[in-house]
Amino acid sequence: MRLKKDNTINIIIVLLIFSAVVLRIVAIPNSNPDMVVYNLPWYQELHERGIDKALGTNFSNYTPPYTYLLALATFTYGLISPLTAIKLIPICFDLLGVIFVYKIVKLKYQHGNLPPLAAAIYFAAPTVILNSAYWGQADSIYTSALLVCLYFLMTEKPLFSMLALGAAFSVKAQAVFLLPFLGVMALRKRIHWLYLGVAPLIYLIAILPVVLLGRPFADALLIYARQSDTFNLLSMNAPNIYNLFRREWYSIVLPFGFAITVVATLVWMYTTWQATAELSGKYIILIAFISTALIPYLLPKMHDRYFYPADVFSILLAFYWPSLWFMPILYQLSSGGAISVFLFNTNSLFPTYGFLLNTLAIAIALRTQRTIEHREVTNQAISSVLPWLAAILVQIVLFGLSLNFLLTPSFIRIEYAMPYMSKTTSLTKSERFQQALQTVVYLGSDQGTRFLKRLKFDNNIPVFNGHEIALLDEAKKSIQNAMAIWYISLAIGVSLSLLAWAENWLPRLCYGISRGGWLAMGLSIILGLTVIINPTSPIESIQSIDTLLQLFPAVFWRDSFLFLCLFTGGSGFLLTRIQNGV
């Protein structure tokens, strides 16, 4: 029976390797915008100007070690195409990754065919193939070095581990995703503090050749600082929460995102440092994975492929924790969906779905960590903040839900079916309903102001003049901001719920939701009384806008605000029934 099982695994290994090789061969000829704009021109610069002259300038926005590899690729000029030569660089490092995935899993399974199975799964992983053979990116270069770093750390060779970290950081700054894990290892005496200086030293040695060739030292040293200013976006299709933020919020959200990342990372490091769990292979793999997954999850300015190390480390996790076999699948779906937006122009919502999958995966990993550390008592200072966050989120979520309904054709139909609405305007019933419906559609969609300019009454007179269009455009921007805040609040609510589950904070979360329900009821009563006492207050700013008042008279606004109050207050009352468990 055992022999039959081994034969089945061997067949799977052969099929995976065969598939991985075939898919790479098929993928290599495909180009992409990154190749056309960056990699191929760098290759041509090295070939045409000469390696020594080109390396002495800042012709590339990548670090010198990558350009060294690119320079080596130019020696194949005339033998293979430049596109193939460039892509063979990361493919070679895929093979290095295969070796060290095998060696790391071999530390747990000394006998049997699970180590080659793990290596084959890594080699055939869709995100690995797409990243190197199809996209031609350098993520496999630094990630394979991180695998080397992890292997030597697990075999208690910290100096070699830090040398590998230095090599990884010399290629891509994203190697720092492993730093929180390495910091914990240093705090727990697995790495000598002096060894932490090896990585920056390796970086200095790596940039020395281009400096000797004439490139200014500061220019080579600070290349990562220049890279950070390339795109002023909170997210480049990265499957994290910053996908939900509007571009205009960049300067406001960025410092808060960095601050939250620093605080959350330090809390995780401190908790892990204080844990009494033995530094076994299982535990090391778990916290190494959490480090590579948590940092790009928390940080703004991440790209779609920055979860690549987590994709790879999740495979190791599945073999060290068989109960977490599904984690690589979650990351293949999350990262694969995110990079497909750029590579294949797929649905732009894929990174948002990926964020939800990442949230679930990180929560499961944190809960697993808490279980192995036998932590029943959680950080009370942090858990005490949770109820207040939940209470605030409840207000935003309920308000957003009611606003969503107000912007639907269903509400317009219900409202304009009321008998008193026919007495509020000189427009015909058909004109009033159709134009009001079109206006609401505009407010809740991505349509431009040209949509409003095309609207005309039955007598071919434009519905809105320029001032009214400008007013509606401002209203639309406010609604878009409100809806973005609602989406973000929902996302944070999901994240907090999973975090509460992971850290045993569910009673505190339920208490916060209940508190939020009471607050929602109170605010709804106050707002409702205000509207009843002064029903014209919501439209004072548009009293002189005749068309808008005909389409949306005072009674419409009154009913809208009363609905908002009733829905929010009623929903809040239901939430107060949640048992807080405290």
CB 96 within 8 A of CB 270: no
CA atoms within 13 A on the CB side of 471: 16
Residue with tokens 């581990």: 161
| Res 146: pLDDT | 98
Q: Using CA atoms, how far apart are residues 283 and 295, in angstroms rounded to an integer? A: 18
Q: Which residues contact 62 (CB under 8 A, 6 or more apart)?
A: 42, 138, 223
Q: Tell which residue, 140, 113, 502, 129, has the closest CA to residue 319.
A: 113
Predicted local distance difference test score (pLDDT) of residue 442: 85
d(CA 486, CA 479): 10
pLDDT of the residue at 382 = 66
pLDDT score at 378: 58
Ordered by start, the domain boundaries in the chain are: 1-176+190-225, 231-375, 382-575
CB atoms inside a 10 Å sphere around CB 119: 25
Beta carbons of 327 and 158 less than 8 angstroms apart = no
> In this structure, are strands 302-303 and 235-236 parallel, antiparallel, or unpaired?
parallel
Distance (Å) of CA 38 to CA 211, 228, 234, 267, 449: 22, 16, 22, 39, 37
Place of tokens 């061997």: 10
Q: At what angle do helices 139-154 and 158-171 cross, to 10 degrees?
A: 170
Residues ≥6 apart with Cβ < 8 Å to 469:
449, 452, 453
Token pair listed for 467:
């001032």
- Please state the separation of Cα 54 from the chain's center in Å: 36
d(CA 113, CA 65) in angstroms, rounded, equals 35
Residue with tokens 């935003």: 396
Question: Do 132 and 140 touch, CB atoms closer than 8 A?
Answer: yes
Burial 217-252 (b: 16+ CB within 10 A, else e): eeebeebeeeeeeeeebbbbbbbbbbbbbeeebeee
Q: Contact at 8 Å (CB) between 213 and 50? A: no
Tell me which residue of 223, 203, 187 sits closest to 61, measured CA to CA.
223
Residue 422, Cα to own-chain centre: how many angstroms? 49
Rounded to the nearest 10 degrees, the angle between the axes of helix 82-106 and helix 114-124 is 150
Q: What is the pLDDT of residue 352?
A: 94
Secondary structure class of 235 (helix, strand, coil): strand
CA distance linking residue 278 with residue 98, whole number of Å: 28
- For residues 435 and 420, give the distance between their C-alpha atoms in angstroms, rounded to a whole number: 18
pLDDT along the chain (582 residues), means of 10: 74 96 97 94 94 90 94 94 96 97 96 95 97 96 98 96 96 96 94 91 94 91 80 91 91 93 94 90 97 96 96 98 97 97 94 96 95 73 78 89 84 79 67 81 83 81 82 86 90 89 85 88 85 60 61 78 87 79 42
Q: What is the largest CA-CA distance in the chain?
A: 86
Neighbours of 54 (CB within 10 A): 22
Q: Which two tokens stand for residue 17?
A: 């390797």
Q: Which two tokens stand for residue 380?
A: 């009370």
User: 376-381: long-range contacts at Cβ-Cβ below 8 A with a sequence spacing of 24 or more?
Assistant: 376/504, 378/503, 378/504, 378/505, 379/267, 379/271, 379/503
Tally of CA atoms within 13 A in the half-sphere of 354 that contains its CB: 34
Q: Residue 315 is encoded by which pair of tokens?
A: 């495979």
3-state secondary structure of 500: helix
Q: CB within 8 A of 426, min separation 6: which ones? A: 550
Alpha helices in 407-544 (DSSP H): 409-416, 429-443, 450-453, 466-502, 506-533
| Residues 6 or more apart in contact with residue 366 via CB below 8 angstroms | 290, 499, 502, 503
Produce one character per residue of 266-289: b if its CB has 16 or more CB atoms within 10 Å, e if not: eebbebbeebebebeeebbbbbbb
